Amino acid sequence: MKRAIEKNLISINFYNPRDFTTNKHNKVDDYQAGGGAGLLLNAQPLLDTLKKIKNKNKNIYFIFPAPAGKTFIQADAKRLANKEHIVFVNGRYEGIDERVVETYADEVFSIGDYILTGGELASCVMSDAISRNIDGVLGNKESLSEESFENMLIEAPSFTKPAIYENRSIPSEFLKGNHAKIINLKNEMAKLKTKYFRPDLYLHAKCKKEK
Ligand code: ADE
């Protein structure tokens, strides 16, 4: 991502809701209305931050990371790479006043079934996955089309040299230089690997399936 920023393919800015507070101590957290354990991000500073961002650019796409969101997948990373401006709105404490989510969220995503201390890491994960689908970000274009999830398949195992290392050999076909055969073999290995390790993905895989 550092290189993508240097090449002006992406840019990243930050807004701090604390800069939009109207209270004396620039507090952004607040107790939950009606009680409940833990603090929330208060609605006012966040709403004012997002209003300012939206007024600057009506085409902003707001993503809220949250455990309750739909699971972020490769298809989302590809689709969102076409958006010009994405704002990730990160919750802290126990979360965000729900009215902010209702007013601004274009999509809510979870990056997995576990609870992080805030949305920042989830936003970093999604930014990375989205950015690498932007033209020019990856050095080698082919690596995008060959990699895992392109057909909902796990990528075939890959190897480096030497061909034999500590008595373990790479598949002999890889050494013979017949690229059509190697591609076929890799496709078969990708299918088998997916079927074995991720049967849930295999159900949706875009490939000819044996019974
Ligand atoms: N915020 C806290 N946990 C999260 C998760 N698993 N995914 C996205 N955002 C989160």
Q: Where are the domains of the chain?
A: 2-131, 146-210
Q: Is 112 in the pocket of ligand 1 (CB under 6 A)?
A: yes
Give the pLDDT confidence score for residue 148 in this predicted structure. Answer: 66
Q: CA 92: distance to chain centroid?
A: 19
Is it true that 2-131 and 146-210 share their CATH fold? no
144-179 tens-digit pLDDT: 666 667 778 999 999 999 999 999 999 999 999 899
Residue identifier of the C-alpha nearest atom 7 of ligand 1: 110
Mean pLDDT of 202-211: 80
Question: Model confidence over 31-78: pLDDT tens digits?
Answer: 999 999 999 999 999 999 999 999 999 999 999 999 999 999 999 999
pLDDT at 8 over 70: yes
Judge contact between 63 and 89, C-beta under 8 A. yes
Centre of ligand 1 to C-alpha 144, Å, is 26
Is the Cβ atom of 116 under 6 angstroms away from ligand 1?
yes
Q: For position 208, what pLDDT does the model report? A: 77
**What pLDDT shows up at residue 156?**
93
- Entry pTM: 0.89
Query: So what's the architecture of 146-210 in CATH?
Result: Orthogonal Bundle (1.10)
Cβ atoms of residues 79 and 50 within 8 Å: no
Class for the domain spanning 2-131? alpha beta
Q: Which residue has the tokens 């909902």?
A: 152
Asked if residue 123 has pLDDT above 80, the reply is yes
Task: Measure 71 CA to ligand 1 centroid, in angstroms.
Answer: 10
Place of tokens 């991720």: 198
Q: Comparing C-alpha atoms, which of 133, 139, 189, 195 is closest to residue 159? A: 189
Q: Cβ(107) to ligand 1 under 6 A?
A: no
Mean of all residue pLDDT scores within the chain:
93
Q: What is the pLDDT of residue 200?
A: 92
Does residue 96's CB lie within 6 angstroms of at least one atom of ligand 1?
Answer: no
Query: Torsion over CA of 185, 143, 111 and 61, rounded to 10 degrees?
Result: -140
Q: Which helix (H) or strand (E) holds 64?
A: strand 61-71
CB of residue 126 inside a 6 A radius of ligand 1: no
